[in-house]
Amino acid sequence: MKKMTIIASAVLLLLVACGKKEKAYDATGTFEATEVTVSAKATGELKTFTVSEGQTLESGAQVGRIDTYQLEMQRQQLESQRNQLAASKRQLSSNRTATNRQQLDLNKQLSSIQQQIANAKRERQRYAELVKDGAVPRKQLDDIDNQIKVLNRQLEATRDQIGSNNAALAEQGKGLGAQMDGIDSQVAGIAAQQRQLDDQIANAEIVAPQAGTVLEKYVEQGEYVTTGKPLFKMADVETMYIRAYVTSAQLQRIKVGQACKVFADYGDGQKKEYAGTVTWISSRSEFTPKTILTDDERADLVYAVKVAIQNDGYVKIGMYGEVKF
């Protein structure tokens, strides 16, 4: 009888000890990663698309291209227009240069006539003295006078031509300036359109926005896609997060940056431990999700926390896990 009493006492103590045993975790949740859905930035046929599910991509890696033939044709047409405008501008500049050269020639001609008149007047003065002394006939002096008159008429005609040219140049300068400004405005407009087309052509390149693994593929090469159509989904699975829920009582001993233990649950008691770091704590409470067990199962309101781990390739998105703070 005494032996039975001892055994019953031992069993009772074991049950009490088991009832007071601390749980191996403080919260549970599921693993997730930062997922990015890559969408088309242009419209057209998917000429190339080399994405496959499970593929690991580097940040900036080109994985496809949307047809840009029409865009490139538009850009070539704009480039042709731009070259034509440049040629017109060169022609206007050439015309202005020719007019300025003509004016310069007239000024040189005017100076030459003035010099001839000055020389003729000196020659007349010398011949006038010779005629006075009777050394030469009067006719030679008259010939010099006639020459001076002709030169004076040429001088006046050249001055009139220069004046007319100056007026014409002034008007031409105004019109030429307006034409030049108009051409410059057209060139600027074409350049803006070319930049837009260049941007659209660049958007036809499909690139990975970050390093990660392709999770899902939504289209195939040769399909017609429109701007905004999802092409594939990828995620950085090297840095994973477990989203768990804690009560307000637990919250007072948890802070961002805190180290903790994370256990990946493979089922049948199979678990693997990882070093975790609390990266986010929700500032707003919510009702306990039905699939989540907290340290206090009677709590109605809980707070979400995210704990980051470095994945060794075994943790998968959606897998259940446990957190020990």
Instruction: Determine whether 300 is exposed, middle or buried from the number of CB atoms within 10 Å of its CB (0-12, 13-18, 19+).
Output: exposed
Measuring CA to CA, which residue among 170, 239, 185 is closest to residue 211? 239
How far is the C-alpha of 78 from the C-alpha of 84, rounded, in Å? 10
Question: Candidates 1.10.10.10, 1.20.59.10, 3.50.50.60, 2.40.30.170; correct CATH number of 24-67+213-324?
Answer: 2.40.30.170
Q: Which residues 6+ apart lie within 8 Å of 192 measured at CB? A: none
Question: Is 231 within 8 Å of 40 (Cβ atoms)?
Answer: yes
pLDDT by 10s per residue, the chain, length 325? 434 443 334 334 434 444 444 577 899 999 999 999 999 999 999 999 999 999 999 999 999 999 999 999 999 999 999 999 888 888 877 777 766 777 777 778 888 888 888 888 888 888 787 777 777 788 887 888 888 888 888 888 888 887 777 777 666 666 677 778 888 889 999 999 999 999 999 999 999 999 999 999 999 999 999 999 999 999 999 999 999 999 888 888 899 999 999 999 888 888 999 999 999 999 888 876 655 555 555 456 889 999 999 999 899 999 999 999 9
Q: Which amino acid is at 102?
A: Q
Helix orientation angle between 138-203 and 69-132, rounded to the nearest 10 degrees: 170
Domain ranges of the chain: 24-67+213-324, 70-202
Question: Candidates 1.10.287, 1.10.3470, 2.60.40, 1.10.155; correct CATH number of 70-202?
Answer: 1.10.287
Please provide the size of the chain in residues: 325
Give the Cβ contact number of residue 8 at 10 Å: 10
Measuring CA to CA, which residue among 65, 42, 51 is closest to residue 228? 42
How far is the C-alpha of 45 from the C-alpha of 224, rounded, in Å? 4
Q: How far is CA 1 from CA 6, 44, 192, in A?
A: 9, 91, 102
3-state secondary structure the chain: CHHHHHHHHHHHHHHHHHHCCCCCCCEEEEEEEEEEEEECCCCEEEEEECCCCCCEECCCCEEEEECCHHHHHHHHHHHHHHHHHHHHHHHHHHHHHHHHHHHHHHHHHHHHHHHHHHHHHHHHHHHHHHHHCCCCCHHHHHHHHHHHHHHHHHHHHHHHHHHHHHHHHHHHHHHHHHHHHHHHHHHHHHHHHHHHHHHHHHHCEEECCCCEEEEEECCCCCCEECCCCEEEEEEEEEEEEEEEEECHHHHCCCCCCCEEEEEEEEECCEEEEEEEEEEEECCCCEECCCCCCECCCCCCEEEEEEEEEECCCCCCCCCEEEEEC
Tokens for 245? 């829920």
Question: Looking at the whole model, is its pTM more than 0.95?
Answer: no
